Structure 1
Amino acid sequence: MSPHPRPTPPADSRGTRAALIFALTAERLSIHYEHGQWLTEAQGASFIADWLRRSERALPLAERRQLSALSDGLARQIAGALSREAGLYTTHEMMEALDPNYDSELARSMMDECARLLDAD
């Protein structure tokens, strides 16, 4: 007997929005550490649209821009608070945690922070 796949939560659910902030923060940090550049708010909103499109979901541009801005603030806060080595480690853990089979205490902590950002916004 094969298990039933879990239904995909709506794009505007709290969990999906927190996961989008998390994924975009990881992407922003990766680009920052690899290329010394930061994504713009519009580029972040485009990443979100692309990710949602893969699962046939969508969010309005204003919401995508809001999530992009939240991830930008978090990514810059992380980069400013950590040494380069610690920042690279954090980025690696976050990128690895995009695989649902990867378990990381650091990534769980970062996901909690992403949820807090949504609650505070």
Structure 2
Amino acid sequence: MTHVDLNFDNRKALLFALTSERLSVYYEHDVWPDDNRALDTAKVWLMRQDLVGPPRLIRELAQLSGQFAKTLADSLSREAGLYMAHEMNQSLDPNHASPVAMDLLDECGRLLREASLAD
């Protein structure tokens, strides 16, 4: 089985998935998952997608997802945050199209470029 390296689109998708997971856990349990949990989630996601990436990059994406999730939660009411987390989770299914999720995916791209994690 051949593995594929993480390109920009894969990085955006992983950042989106990790952020979605963090928001879901936060709104369900009222606690932020730590970076180790995000790393475990990333490993599972990468394995399912048959992707590989350098451990340092995966750690940086996990950390960035925590920052992004907290920024989103801080800027939204609880109700809006629950909706956002739900939309993000639904959008992990490729058959679900959501304008909200597309905007967040674009924001993931911007954050990657800003953090010099785009290439």
Q: How does 1:14-93 map to 2 (within 5 A)?
A: 14-93=8-87
Could you tell me which residue of structure 2 aligns to residue 4 of structure 1? none
Q: Does 1:114 pair with 2:100?
A: no
Q: Does 1:102 pair with 2:104?
A: no
Aligned partners of 1:48 and 1:73: how far apart in 2? 16
Amino acid at match of 2:62: S
Identity %: 42
Partners of 1:11 and 1:52 within 8 A in 2? no
Aligned partners of 1:62 and 1:100: how far apart in 2? 28
The count of corresponding residues between Structure 1 and Structure 2 is 113
Partners of 2:18 and 2:38 within 8 A in 1? yes
Q: Please, which moves more after superposition, 25-34 or 40-49?
A: 40-49
Query: TM-score scaled by structure 2?
Result: 0.90
Query: TM-score scaled by structure 1?
Result: 0.88
Unaligned runs of 5+ in 2: none
Q: CA RMSD in A?
A: 1.3
Runs in 1 of length 4+ with deviation above 3 angstroms?
none
Amino acid at match of 1:76: K
Q: Cα deviation per residue 1:63-116 (whole Å; 9 max; x = unaligned)?
A: 111000111111000111100000000111000000111111100000000010
Unaligned runs of 5+ in 1: 1-8
Aligned partners of 1:55 and 1:68: how far apart in 2? 17
Q: Cα deviation per residue 1:40-61 (whole Å; 9 max; x = unaligned)?
A: 1122112111111123322222
